[in-house]
Amino acid sequence: MAASLGEDDARYIRRVIRVQRLLEIGGRATMFASFLPPAWLAATAMLTGAKILDNMEIGHNVMHGQWDWMSDPAIQSATWEWDAASPSEQWKSAHNYRHHTYTNVLGEDRDIGFGILRMTPAQQWRPVFLAQPLYAAALALTFEWGVALFDIEIDRTWRGEKSWRETLTHLDGVLRKGGRQALKDYVIFPLIAGPGFLPVLLGNLTANVLRNIWAYMIIFCGHFPEGAEIFTPEQIVQESRGEWYLRQIQGSANIEGSPLFHILSGNLSHQIEHHLFPDLPSNRYAQIAPQVRSLCERFGVPYTSGRLGRQSIDIWRNIFRLALPGPSRPRRAWTGRVSRAR
């Protein structure tokens, strides 16, 4: 597959970047007429689309190195910065390495619950989890900031596993990067609008919140719906490469939808394929998904896939259920071994 990458793939990502920039320019320009309700709605919709594309199909995937093969200095994982509160270098360390290496391994994959949610009965229940539906809603609304602050790993610092010097350095990076983003959206552009300050401010805030909710839904539906497995550290002791691939499949879930939906999700709607091949350009996931699914059926490996609405219901049902003490409905058991052809 990698050997077949070529000009068509390069045209794809350049086209997506061009569309994203046109949407942002159009949204920012139209926002200056946002004292008219139709203009405000159109501007907010364009800016929301631009932020979703920047965050999902472009930023996330470029920083995975999916497009480094092009040798285009403007589209490189080492230098790309996105429209989000997380500094790219800190995000890549937490996401590309830790999350993708230890996918859904309790105690190793810090994305399980993002430090505030109980997403599996294997997590010890505490009274604070009674309010986790509220925490989950707050995390959805502020997802870019929740991820940025969580990646600082201040909990590890309190436990003495990380130095305060390193933590403060990471915090400074988030405050600087996030501060620039907040200054741009909530001060500079509203001030340029003059008397339109408030509508522009509200439009930018709405676009950011909608982008956060969308990213939250796609990420959670790709990892925690019914059928996606969560593992214990003991299950990955002496894990072979084949078993690592199996865990990526069983710890992920796909989301079904239209081609436009897949683009807006950053093709993380093909979460299984992304976890198997995180550095493969995202436009190729739809091409390999039938082959992956066929192999899973051949070897009896569950391939979890469903519509966004159904996956979201699964997520929220689990969040409410696990807010209470006691186990949730048991998940399917995992053998920890690769099925082999006979």
Q: pLDDT by residue (tens digit) across 49-89? A: 999 999 999 999 999 999 999 999 999 999 999 999 999 98
Each residue's pLDDT tens digit, 130-185: 999 999 999 999 999 999 988 888 878 888 888 888 889 889 999 999 999 999 99
Rg (CA), the chain: 21
According to the model, what pLDDT value does residue 150 have?
A: 86
pLDDT surpasses 70 at 336 = no
Alpha-carbon distance of 295 to 274, in angstroms, equals: 16
On whether the CB atoms of residues 45 and 211 are closer than 8 A, the answer is no
According to the model, what pLDDT value does residue 328 have?
A: 52
According to the model, what pLDDT value does residue 330 have?
A: 43
Q: DSSP for 236-302?
A: GTT--HHHHHHHHHHT--EEE--HHHHHHTTTGGGHHHHHH-TTS-GGGHHHHHHHHHHHHHHHT--
Closest CA to 28 of 182, 200, 191, 183: 200
Report if pTM > 0.75.
yes
Other CB atoms within 10 A of residue 151 CB: 24
Each residue's pLDDT tens digit, 86-128: 999 889 988 998 899 999 999 889 888 888 899 999 898 999 9
Each residue's pLDDT tens digit, 10-23: 999 999 999 999 99
pLDDT surpasses 50 at 339 = no
DSSP 3: G
- Locate 114 and state its tokens: 């993002």
Each residue's pLDDT tens digit, 169-183: 889 999 999 999 999
Each residue's pLDDT tens digit, 303-333: 999 999 999 999 999 999 999 997 654 444 3
Give the residue extent of every domain in the chain: 96-321
Each residue's pLDDT tens digit, 215-256: 999 999 999 999 999 999 999 999 999 999 999 999 999 999
Alpha-carbon distance of 327 to 124, in angstroms, equals: 10
On whether the CB atoms of residues 41 and 203 are closer than 8 A, the answer is no
According to the model, what pLDDT value does residue 114 have?
A: 85
According to the model, what pLDDT value does residue 331 have?
A: 47
Each residue's pLDDT tens digit, 263-308: 999 999 999 999 999 999 999 999 999 999 999 999 999 999 999 9
According to the model, what pLDDT value does residue 327 have?
A: 67
Alpha-carbon distance of 224 to 235, in angstroms, equals: 18
According to the model, what pLDDT value does residue 342 have?
A: 23
Tell me the mean pLDDT in the region 30-45.
95
